[in-house]
């Protein structure tokens, strides 16, 4: 193996949803591959795709939708090479208990959505249509940054809130909200988040990408054997402000619905489903080739050698 290689990764926001990244980091799977990884959370006005294009990062974590958006606007192909999340990581919360929730209960109601990324919203539109609900019949608000969205819901605004973890567990635990439905279960399997890089680094940094993907797959295999308590303990340094019981509950809920990929290969079927969601929602204007935005050769090599 080559010597220690420093590597900068950008993430769109800090989330327990990205637990595999922090298992790889704090479980020393990256270190075992000779990688010294610095994870940077994109700040205001910054994007993961922008960090790649500008050269601030060599690898970024995020949805394939980000690369589809860049390609749709005529930008460079930012290629995804390793799957992290195989399901939507968001949850639909309600102000009142709805033990037998049905999607038509959203008609005429206000739903505070997640403003920081469009994929949760696009998946919501698809699920609504699937259940015979016209999305225009629901007041979906995506104008507030996450802290303000949660504060508005706590303050009595809206009947529903779509959010991720650990906020779902915090709101349920203190009685502010009740779980209506898991969007991961409602959306079904989809390659929601993955690692991407530039075409140049895909060619020139292949050794680094193989080591990186091997570390991720090692973390994935460890997570497949671990329980929620073990995973929550390993990722704790990334979530120092989250109470241990909340962190463990968030991990347990994600584990129970098979949120995290067991291997890094991004399959064509999942890509096609995600692209259909984004086309139907009007997020992109045309279809883009799987071969242009997905590279499976590194992941296949890694999985084949495992």
| Position 235 pLDDT exceeds 90 | yes
Same domain, residue pair 201 and 177: no
Final residue of a structural domain among 152, 187, 222:
187
Same domain, residue pair 131 and 211: no
Domain range holding 222? 5-87+190-305
Same domain, residue pair 200 and 80: yes
For 183, other C-beta atoms within 10 Å of its C-beta total 23
Burial class (CB in 10 A: 0-12, 13-18, 19+), 3: exposed
pTM of the model: 0.94
How many structural domains is the chain composed of?
2
Q: Which residue has the tokens 């005429």?
A: 108
Strand partners, 110: 139
Average pLDDT of the chain, as a whole number: 95
Same domain, residue pair 182 and 199: no
Same domain, residue pair 299 and 196: yes
Same domain, residue pair 258 and 297: yes
CATH code of residue 131:
3.40.190.10
Same domain, residue pair 122 and 206: no
Higher pLDDT, 116 or 176: 176
Quick: pLDDT tens for 200-219. Answer: 999 999 999 999 999 999 99
Q: Which residue has the tokens 């192909």?
A: 77
């Amino acid at each position: 193996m080559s010597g220690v290689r420093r590597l900068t990764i950008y993430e769109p926001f800090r989330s327990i949803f990205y637990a595999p990244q922090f298992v790889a980091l704090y479980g020393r799977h990256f270190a075992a591959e000779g990688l010294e990884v610095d994870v940077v959370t994109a700040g205001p006005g910054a994007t993961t795709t922008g960090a790649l294009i500008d050269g601030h990062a060599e690898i970024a974590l995020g949805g394939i939708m980000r690369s589809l958006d860049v390609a749709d606007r005529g930008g460079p192909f930012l290629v995804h090479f390793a799957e992290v999340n195989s399901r939507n990581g968001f949850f639909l919360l309600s102000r009142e208990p709805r033990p037998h929730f049905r999607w038509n209960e959203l008609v005429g109601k206000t739903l505070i959505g997640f403003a920081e990324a469009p994929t949760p919203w696009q998946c919501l539109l698809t699920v609504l249509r699937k259940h015979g609900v016209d999305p225009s019949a629901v007041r979906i608000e995506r104008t507030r940054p996450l802290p303000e969205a949660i504060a508005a819901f706590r303050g009595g605004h809206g009947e529903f809130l779509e959010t991720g973890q650990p906020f779902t567990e915090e709101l349920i635990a203190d009685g502010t909200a009740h779980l209506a439905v898991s969007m991961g279960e409602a959306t079904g399997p989809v390659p929601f988040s993955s690692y991407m890089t530039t075409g140049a680094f895909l060619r020139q940094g292949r050794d680094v990408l193989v080591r990186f993907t091997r570390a991720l797959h090692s973390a994935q295999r460890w997570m497949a054997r671990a329980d929620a308590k073990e995973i929550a303990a390993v990722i704790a340094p990334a979530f120092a402000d989250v109470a241990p019981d909340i962190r463990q509950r968030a991990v347990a809920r994600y584990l129970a619905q098979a949120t995290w990929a067991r291997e890094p290969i991004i399959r064509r079927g999942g890509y096609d489903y995600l692209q259909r969601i984004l086309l139907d929602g009007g997020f992109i204007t045309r279809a883009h080739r799987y071969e242009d935005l997905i590279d499976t050769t590194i992941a296949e090599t890694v999985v084949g050698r495992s």
